[in-house]
A and B are shown apart, each in its own frame.
Chain A
């Protein structure tokens, strides 16, 4: 079985400051890990994915995440937040043997001007 825990339900940052969204996972197999973003009234968009290649993964819009097996973590970061980053972010895990995505509960990001 696999599961994801997003450690923060809500993160508030000032524009131009770093963003950190924390995610821990558990998986019986070597997992694939993803971060998706969901803007209000829009579909889910993939930010980045880890599939057992480089442990530091770069995604779209300046986001990156680091896979740490020893800590079972896959935290998402961005050096400088922009107002357009305000959205709901989901950490997602899927094991290597099937394609069912398991989503975390989500982290709401608010960006202050």
Chain B
């Protein structure tokens, strides 16, 4: 079975631009979460979506938004990019909302110049 997939693998943007990152969960998983991992730090929770509804949001500005589609894939959007948004963006999926293991994708490396 395919694991969690993310696209693109790498992305370079300039300040002020916007970006869309995509995630496909493991088949049968209905929950998708997004995390930001800045170099040298642990991942920080951004969003959780379950059954296409936002169920949790971390301490990130409104420039960050996300959505989940009927097939449970998800997009993370970031507007008005700042240099500090440079990070590895990780997507994780799970079968249920609470208690089960989250399976992580390989991430999208975003560089903002």
Contact = CB atoms under 8 A, between A and B. Distances in A.
Interface of A: 32, 34, 36, 41-46, 49, 51, 90, 96-106
Contacts of A43: 3-4, 90, 104-107
Given A43-B90, A46-B101, A49-B101, A99 B56 contact: yes
Interface of B: 3-4, 31, 33, 35, 40-45, 48, 55-56, 58, 90, 92, 94, 97-99, 101-107
A63 to B, nearest CB: 15
Q: Name, among B3, B4, B42, B58, the residue most crowded by chain A CB atoms within 10 Å (CB to CB).
A: B42
Contacts of A101: 33, 35, 43, 45, 92, 102
B48 A99 contact: yes
Contact of B41 (A32, A41, A44, A105): A105
Contacts, number: 62
Nearest to B107: A43
A101 B90 CA distance: 12
Contact of B31 (A46, A51, A99): A99
A24 to B, nearest CB: 14
B45 A100 contact: yes
Contacts of B90: 43-44
A103 B98 contact: no
Query: 3 closest Cβ contacts across the A-B interface?
Result: A103-B42, A44-B104, A43-B106
A51 B107 CA distance: 26
B101 A42 contact: no
Nearest to B46: A100
Contacts of B42: 90, 103-106
A99 B32 CA distance: 11
